[in-house]
Amino acid sequence: MFHKEGTPSILLGIIFSTGVLLLSDKFIDTNWIKMLIQISAFLVLIIILQFFRNPKRTVILNENQILAPVDGKVVVIEEVFEGEYFKDKRLQISIFMSPINVHVTRYALSGIVKFSKYHPGKFLVAWHPKASEENERTTVIIENETFGKILYRQIAGALARRIVNYAEEGMQVIQGTDAGFIKFGSRVDIFLPLGTPINVVLNQKAIGGKTIIATKG
């Protein structure tokens, strides 16, 4: 299963690979060169397909848990000042996605979308300390009865050039369902109230819609 955001790229990849295979077969006589070109074209298509994969996952809804919004590695767990919306100190958990990770963003909890904003910006590497404030990004606030207001931020990386965000103010969203997509290397930050019990550790591998980030109650 592939994500709908990958449809144009997948179609172009198929057309490109097919064209390379046909043209190389017709115009290149040296077998090893022809094979090298054809294998390279096939590998390009495989990379595109794996990047836009969208594995279906059964999510057990739980109002007392915050689930990982994306696949990747936990790279930040620290107390920070969040200056865009809360303007106070929050507990930040960041998950970095490499190009080989699934890049679907999923809602970490169910609730009402209270705020959703896109910010154009730079394309620093996603793990750069200033990426959260200077890179292209979206900021979304979801209000939940158990946790109150939770902020998550999709952040473009050095290769990413498009962030897709489905959250709109006033929407009722369901934990584990698609919240958007980030193309080619990126990061998602989650900002929780201070004192929230955390269930992950640095460098832990997170699975979107499965790994429990935090619990309450």
**Which member of 94, 110, 132, 186 is catalytic?**
186
Please indicate whether residue 110 is annotated as part of the active site.
no
Per residue in 16-40, is it b (16+ CB within 10 Å) or e — as a string? ebeebeeebeeeeeeeeebeebbee
- Nearest Cα neighbor of 165 from 136, 194, 145, 195 is 136
Distance CA 174, CA 112 (A): 9
CA angle 214–200–122, rounded 5-degree value: 90
The residues carrying an active-site annotation are: 186
